Structures are given as C-alpha cells and as structure tokens.
A and B are shown apart, each in its own frame.
Chain A
C-alpha cells in the first residue's frame, strides 16, 4: 500500500520545514519533497518604503546572517546613489564592509559546523538524540565546544565593531559606511579581545586550521559515509573575483557543470536576470531558480561553500589555498558533488575568513575618515554577494520620490532548493527503501542531508533537539497508518 512519510518540522536548521516521503506499495521511495511552509513577504512590504531603509529593513529576514542581507541591499543602494557597482566606494568603506562580511562568514560557519552539524559527526547520525546535540558536544568534547564559542564570539565582535551591533546593525549606508574602525578595536582584535589571547586573530586562524584537521581525521575513518551520503552530480554557481579568486563580497557570476565545464562565464552581477530564472511550484513557498539557458530540468545548481570551491580557481590567502589544493586534489580537479563535503568546504572558508580578517585588521585604510561616496542617482540597484549559505541576489527599483517600487530577493537557500530536495530523496532512498517501520535515525538521516546545506529557512534556530518532530505514515487514500512524535 502506498505511503507518505512526513517529517515536520526539520530540526537544527534555521527555520521551519517539512519533509514528505512518498512510498509505493512495495515500500520503495517514489518521491521526496522538502516543503518550506513559511511565508515571508519581504519583497512586498519593502515596497513604499524609502530606499535607505532597505539595508536595515531586509536584514530582519534572518538573525543568523543579517549582515549578508544588510550588505547585499547596501550594494544595491550604492548603485542607486551613483557609488558604482562594488567598485565605487572609498577604501575605508569597502574594507570596513569586507571586514564586517568576513566576520559574518566566520561566525556563521563556526555556528553551523560546531553547533548544528558536529553532533551528527561526533556521535553518529544514529546516536541517541539525547546525546546528539550541542549539550552532548559540550559534555563530551569540552575543549572543542569552548573553542567554538570563542570563535563565534570573535566573529560576532567583528560585526559589532563594524556594523554597530552583533545582530541587525546599521554600518553600511548607501554609498559607504557610517564609521571606521578605532585603533583600540583594531588592537583588541589583533592581540586579544579584553586582553584574552584566545580571542586574537592568530588564534582564530590556528583553531580554523584545527577544525579542518578534525574533519579530515573524521573523514579518514568515515570515508564511505562522507563521500557517499546524499551525493549526486550537479551544476555549481557562485560569484568569483574577475581573476577567478574566491571572493565572498563581490565578483562576477560563474557556474560550472558536473564535469567542471563553464556554463556561465563570468557575467556581470548586474546582468543576473540574463543568467537565472525562478520557477514556482504549488507545494512550497520557496521558488526554484535555475540557469536560464539550460532550463528548469537541467539548469538547477548548488550554491554555498561547496559550489564556491568548485567554481573558483584559487583562494587568495595562503593557508586556505593549501587546504583548497587538498580539497581539489581529492576529486582530481573536478567539481566535488558530495553533499557532506559541504562541511569540508565550509571549514576551508572559515580558515580563509580568519586570514582575511587579520589581513584587513593590519590595513591602515580601516582608520580612514572618507566614509561615503555619491554620484548620479538612478532608479535601479542590484546587489549580489556570497552569503555563508551561498549567492544572494538583491534587486530594487525606486521611484523619483525615493520610494521602493519593486524588490526581488533570491536568497541563498532558495538557490539550493532543488539540490536540497534531491539530497532528501537520496537519503530517503538509502534509508527507507523497503522499510515498513520508521525509526528516529532514519528521520535524522534525512535531516542530515538537508543540514549539510546549512539552510536558512527563516530566523529561528532549534539547536537542542527540543523542537517537536512528527512523522506520519499515510496510505494512498490519505489515512494515517502510523505516527511517531518526539519533543511534543
């Protein structure tokens, strides 16, 4: 008898989602879907507001990566006020924004790996849920947990010093930034916040290197799991610096196919509508973007750390570059399509962010006083950047009275919608085919596949396994055959 399994909500991700897995009469998985059940509406309710509010308003999309939305919107506003497209700001404004952004990348990646993902890796995806959570990590791996807390704190303090607050700051303004970095802050970040050497730039680099070593050590003993779990070929898309370097703040749009062939060749970010289109499906509030030229069937792509390392040619910081070369060598230079390797790529980016932050802190431009640039006003602004979870598109049109008339946001997780659905299906096929009984580890396996993408479905974090989880079996007629609940 055909069945439908529902996992709702998905836990240890940012926001609320629901998974349904459809089984046929022989308990074979026929279809899997990740439903995004929240409606946000930011694109509509920013309309009618003055354009300079946008960077502050749209960052309320998220409490984990508000900086990314703040900066993407600010980049769009730069265009509006005639401050160029990622190249017209004063050095202090551009570098302060970059410092803010790399602080954001650093803290978000650390949060994801240690807080959300590490319980699965350290204890196993089938471990007791009572242990498989961040409290379990603190109890069993105390030193690692302390490092994670301090690393995240460092990134958050960088954000506070550049944006004014750790969450929902106001640092970036149309055409620039509203403050520079004080010498006192600079010295604290270089030598240790509040005199604590564990909160210094060098310690962040050292701990980021250690995190990569930890993952590689885990990989050596769990190769089959990390390489095979929810792995499938895909296209990959990200911004890169025009010379091919990894650049998380600004660049041109590039995409490669599963073989590494360039399918979007360094397109100006202002021309994003020539590259991507979005499809709407009836069962989800989240759209499905795809590369326009390839169409929805073949044009879907992954974004985020894995995609970025598949797309770029090199990383412009030495330690991360060395780690990148090892990463690339593992797939012999071809794009890496193993979903669980998102974690590896994420940690390489964490190291890169730590290196970039130190480099920026040593740059005297951060103490400059020329904060804002303006030029000829226009009616349209487009801002793209690489958020922790992937490419972020912000597009606004403004009328002559300075009020926003159109807004289009393609957020990172939207870009990963199709891949996450495929990852769910791959996990479901592996875990549930032929099984008549649902177990907690099966459900968690599906979540692990989603979690690898670090999806941000909204602003809520459910980190301690306390969120209710419901799995329901339906027959073909929709009658409930079985129901499992936890945390309810």
Chain B
C-alpha cells in the first residue's frame, strides 16, 4: 500500500466515467482524477498544499470512500496506480450509494455530535454526509465508549470523533521526524494514541496543522472553539466536491 507517490514522465491514457484523460505513470487514479478536475471523495488521502503543510500527497488507503470500479473491479482510487487503458467508473449510482454506506458506518461507529463540534461546517465527514444526502443511518449506533484526551496544553484529542483515517499518523511529525500520533491495537479495538510528551511541546503552528489535517473534529486546537462564524467555514459557500481542482500544477504542491 502506497503512502507517498512517485511519478514518472511516461504518459498513461485512461477513461474515468467515459472521459478520456492522461496521467503520469506512477500517479494514482485519485491524483489523475484531481489533475483533470474530476472529483473522487477522500477522507484519508490528502493532496499536499501550502495550507496543510504537507511535502507530498498522502494516501493511507484506510477509509475506502474513494472506491471506484476499474475494469469492473472495485479498487481504492487513492492507492491504485494508473495503467494504460484503465476504464474507471466513479460517479455512478452504485458507487455513490457504497460511499454513502461508508459514511453511515463511520457515523454509527463513533459518537459524532456535530452540533457542538468546532469542526462542524469544516468537517469532511459531515460534508460527505450532506453530499450523499445521508438523512439517518441504516445501521444501529454502536454507542462506543471512547475517551477524550485533554492532557496536552494545546490539543484536545476526542476519540469519539476519530475515524482512524491515519492522516495524523503520517502527517504530524516533529522537526526531527518523530511521529506524534500512532495506531494501537487491531480490528474494532483499533485506536490512535498520542505521544503525550511530544504533543505537550508541540508548536502553535503544528497544533494548527494537526487540527487542519484531521478530516473530522477529533483533533481540536484548545480554547479556539467556534471563532469562525457561520458563512466563513470551509463548506459554507461551496459543498465538498465542488472545489476547483488545480489542473496545471501536475500534482505539485500548490
């Protein structure tokens, strides 16, 4: 499973939803789609930008919300490299219902109380729920018992909202490359742990970056709640998936 992507100058031709596009060999389907202005939803994969401070794209392949059909087989768009002649189905009723199901499962598995969440309006999971018109989940709530870790002076880690996307594990590191977050246990016991000593000394910028990179409200900058008014939150003006995708940067950091 790739986490960072190496590309070459070889040009690959493929189709996504019937549209013929070109991509560099080594790019993932997701990157090829983004470069050509085609929206594929993501929760764990993240394109590097100045805003999120990433050096390169990350693609943990954990959430599977980007599932597409490649020549009839379901694949994760964020981890599958493009290949000549791929026929990719993306924006179809079947796949969108599958994505909606994933969103519903994430909601019932955690304890997401959107109304009191600082990330509400800027939350990718919530925005996807709106996009796929999730009115109420088809599954029973798990009412998982989760802890809130508030030991750090700058960050609050609310496990109730964590979707185990792994973004924080891959992206948030100290200047000398040490991980601040990591996975623990397996299966339905999986969770994120923080290196409390390292997180205690996190810089203001890193704290802000950690909150920004988290796609939900699991990592929250302390004491900064609700200072962005309605109308100015990430998805207030344009819903998720309607953002203009850079088609000229060739996947470089914008």
Q: Which residues in A have some Cβ–Cβ distance to B below 8 Å?
A: 48-50, 52-53, 55-57, 60, 81, 164-165, 168-171, 173-174, 178-179, 372, 401-403
Contact = CB atoms under 8 A, between A and B. Distances in A.
Contacts of B224: 52
Contacts of A56: 115-116, 225-226
Interface stretch (B14-22, B79-87, B148-156, B165-173): B148-156
Contacts, number: 57
A450 B165 CA distance: 52
Contact of A402 (B156, B226, B230, B231): B156
A178 B118 contact: no
11 contacts: A50-B222, A52-B223, A52-B226, A56-B225, A170-B226, A170-B229, A171-B229, A372-B227, A401-B150, A402-B223, A403-B150
A170 B150 contact: no
A81 B222 CA distance: 12
A173 B148 contact: no
Nearest to B227: A178
A50 B220 CA distance: 10
Q: Give the secondary structure class of B's interface.
A: loop
A401 B115 contact: no
A170 B119 CA distance: 12
A57 B116 CA distance: 5
B237 interface: no
A57 B115 contact: yes
A141 to B, nearest CB: 36
B228 interface: yes
A56 B226 CA distance: 9
Contacts of A168: 115
B32 to A, nearest CB: 39
A403 B225 CA distance: 13
Interface string B142-160: 0000001011000010000
Which 8 interchain pairs have the tightest Cβ spacing? A164-B230, A52-B225, A401-B150, A57-B116, A179-B229, A170-B226, A53-B116, A178-B229
B228 A403 contact: no
B118 A52 contact: yes
A53 B229 contact: no
A49 B116 CA distance: 10
Given A50-B225, A168-B115, 16 more contacts: A50-B220, A52-B118, A52-B223, A52-B224, A52-B226, A56-B226, A57-B115, A57-B116, A81-B223, A164-B231, A171-B229, A173-B225, A178-B227, A401-B151, A402-B223, A403-B150
Q: Give the secondary structure class of A's interface.
A: loop
Nearest to B230: A164
Nearest to A403: B150
What band does the interface of chain B fall in when counting residues whose beta carbon is under 8 Å from A?
A: 10 to 19
A178 B150 CA distance: 24
Contacts of B227: 173, 178, 372
Contacts of B116: 49, 53, 56-57, 60
A178 B228 contact: yes
A72 to B, nearest CB: 16
Contacts of B231: 164
A170 B230 contact: yes
Nearest to A60: B115
B226 A173 contact: yes
Contacts of A169: 230
Contacts of B118: 52-53
A73 to B, nearest CB: 11
Contacts of A171: 229
Nearest to B225: A52
A55 to B, nearest CB: 8
Nearest to B156: A50
Contacts of A81: 223
B133 to A, nearest CB: 21
Interface in B202-254: 220, 222-231
B144 to A, nearest CB: 15
A178 B228 CA distance: 6
Interface string B89-124: 000000000000000000000000001111000000
A164 B236 CA distance: 11
A53 B225 contact: yes
B150 A402 contact: yes
Contacts of B225: 50, 52-53, 56, 173-174
Contacts of A52: 118, 223-226
B223 A174 contact: yes
A402 B222 contact: yes
Contacts of A401: 150-151
A401 B223 CA distance: 11
Contacts of A57: 115-116
B44 to A, nearest CB: 25
A401 B156 CA distance: 9
A324 to B, nearest CB: 36
Contacts of B151: 401
A173 B118 CA distance: 11
A453 B222 CA distance: 40
Nearest to B117: A53
Given A171-B229, A174-B225, A50 B115 contact: no
Contacts of A174: 223, 225
Nearest to A52: B225
Given A53-B116, A403-B150, A178 B226 contact: yes
A52 B228 CA distance: 13
A164 B115 contact: no
Contacts of B156: 50, 402
A174 B118 CA distance: 13
Contacts of A372: 227
A165 B148 contact: no
Nearest to A165: B230
With a 10 A CB-CB cut-off, give which of B156, B225, B230 has the most chain A CB atoms.
B225
Nearest to B113: A57
A249 B231 CA distance: 26
A81 B30 CA distance: 45
Contacts of B226: 52, 55-56, 170, 173, 178
Contacts of B148: 48-50, 403
